Amino acid sequence: MPLLRDTALADAFDRGSGRYDRLVSLNPGYHAQLRRSARRLGLPDGGAGRRVLDLGCGTGASTAALAAAFPAAEIVGVDASAGMLERARAKRWPSRVRFVHAPAEELRRAGVHGPFDAVLAAYLFRNLTDPDTVLRTVRGLLVPGGRLAVHEYALGGRRADRLMWDAVCRGVILPLGTATGDRTLYRHLWRSVAEFDTVPAFGARLGRAGFEDVRVLPLPGWQTGITHTFVGRRAAGETDGAR
């Protein structure tokens, strides 16, 4: 069976949205890891005067991480799932945070325009039909020198990494998905990670999309070696682009 993509994926997230926050709360370190990736965007002065995009913001867990890391930044959260966004919007946010319902592939049509000083995409890229095009769009939305942080599951490329991921999915993720009625979504999680880029492949993909100074940073806890922050920068001298 093909992986869930586009509308089918948004529908699956719509259906799972009511249980999403409870499920991630069972994942030790989920929120702390998002905050760590957000901080890696490195905006100065608490983000005062800066704009940050949270691409694939879901129920707002990554948005909250950005809001904590940069208490003075303007933040725009974008997601393709109306159900996930409804959960995000139902939370209390400062007026500097807003949400837009749009696929990452149609930001401009949805009125999401750059420039942004930084972009966070947490658990998004392995879900996209055409990650390269979205990466290039994101690069064009950034100010010259602006940073992208991709917080993502990516396996190391060794057979042992794949075996570890399979074991975690069989032992924890799929049983949880079955118990909560979200088996389709959690089967998608298993396969989308297994079939997406390894760590070096995603780093190379960022480079091909024109990001500079690409770094892969580890995250602590049980997800060490499975979840990473990829950080890349739009070239300081690059001034054109899709805004």
Ligand X SMILES: C[S@@+](CC[C@H](N)C(=O)[O-])C[C@H]1O[C@@H](n2cnc3c(N)ncnc32)[C@H](O)[C@@H]1O
Q: Which residues bind ligand X (CB under 6 A)?
A: 9-10, 13, 34, 56-58, 61-62, 79-81, 84, 103-105, 122-124, 127-128
| 171-177, Cβ contacts within 8 angstroms, sequence gap of 24 or more | 176/23, 176/26
Q: How far is the CB of 199 from ligand X (least distance, A)?
A: 19
CB-based contact 129:149 (threshold 8 Å)? no
Q: How far apart are CA 129 and CA 134, in angstroms?
A: 9
Q: How far is the CB of 237 from ligand X (least distance, A)?
A: 30
Q: Which is nearer to ligand X, 24 or 235 (CB)?
A: 24
Q: How far is the CB of 6 from ligand X (least distance, A)?
A: 7
Q: How far is the CB of 114 from ligand X (least distance, A)?
A: 16
Q: Which is nearer to ligand X, 23 or 143 (CB)?
A: 23
Q: Which is nearer to ligand X, 3 or 235 (CB)?
A: 3
Nearest residue to ligand X, by Cβ distance, number only: 58
In angstroms, the Cα distances linking 27 to 22, 185, 223 are 9, 16, 10
Q: Which is nearer to ligand X, 86 or 161 (CB)?
A: 86
Q: How far is the CB of 105 from ligand X (least distance, A)?
A: 6
| Burial environment of residue 18 by CB neighbours within 10 A (0 to 12, 13 to 18, 19 or more) | middle
Q: How far apart are CA 48 and CA 151, in angstroms?
A: 23
Q: Which is nearer to ligand X, 55 or 143 (CB)?
A: 55
Map residue 111 onto helix, strand or coil.
Answer: coil
